[in-house]
Structure formats: C-alpha cells, structure tokens
Homo-oligomer: A and B are copies of this chain.
Amino acid sequence: MAKPTKRLPTKRLPMLPAERALKVISGRWKAVILYHLFDGPRRLSVLKTLVPDITQKVLIQQLREMEEHGLIRREIFAEIPSRVEYSATRLGLSLEPILLALCAWAQHHADELNEMDRVTDCIIRPRQARPPAIA
C-alpha cells in the first residue's frame, strides 16, 4: 500500500475564500477584541480593560483594520468627555458561530494544544530527511 490516496484527488471547494476569511481575523488580538464586541458596544477605555495585555496603539490598529474590513463600526458621540464606541457589524456578528466553534475546538483539544505550546516555544531545529536505512 504505497498510495493510500483516498478522497478526492483534486479539488472540492475553493480554499481561497477561507484564506481571506482567515486574514480578516488573523492578528494577535482581533479575535479577542471582536469577541468582546459580540457582547455589545464597547468604549475604547473599556476595551483597554477587557484586553489589558494589549498596547493602546495596537488596540487601535486592530480596531482600524477590522473597521476597514467591515467587521466593526466606530461611532463618535459629541459629548464633553469625548466618547467613542466600537461595535460589531452584521458581518462581524456573522463570524460569531465560527469563532465559538474555534473556541470549542480549542477547548476540546486543550491537551494536544498544551503540548503544542510547549513545542512552539522551542526553536524549530533543522532536520535531515534521513531514511531509516535504505531497504
């Protein structure tokens, strides 16, 4: 059994779209921020406390990108202590099930992923394609 190539040999669905989807939520903090916006509009200051480990600069960066991508909305209120609220758009909200599925997946495979973390921190060292003694 040298070629157990099962399933379809060529294509099924175009993967390319998913690539773009990934780009939209890729970024160190985007998923987390968006997640907090699922719960309703949030002011910048609140987001800062909700995601304490992020720099303000990066927070705003990620917000901007998600805004450009149509995932979130930014609303300015003409009040004296200036107020700005970020909220998820319909498009952003439509990602909720997928993000939750991702959560569920990650939790379900927590063990394997822990294992992974351990590895990720190491340098991925080179390796030989050294066959186990040619037959």
Contact = CB atoms under 8 A, between A and B. Distances in A.
Contact of A26 (B22, B133, B135): B22
Contacts of A80: 134
Interface string A11-46: 011111111111111100001100110111100000
Give the oligomeric copy count.
2
Contacts of A109: 91, 94
Interface of A: 2-10, 12-26, 31-32, 35-36, 38-41, 64-65, 68-70, 76-78, 80, 82, 84, 91, 94-95, 97-103, 105-107, 109-110, 112-113, 115-117, 119-120, 124, 127, 129-135
Q: Which 5 pairs, one residue from A and one from B, show the smallest C-beta to C-beta distance? A: A17-B106, A21-B106, A5-B40, A15-B35, A18-B103
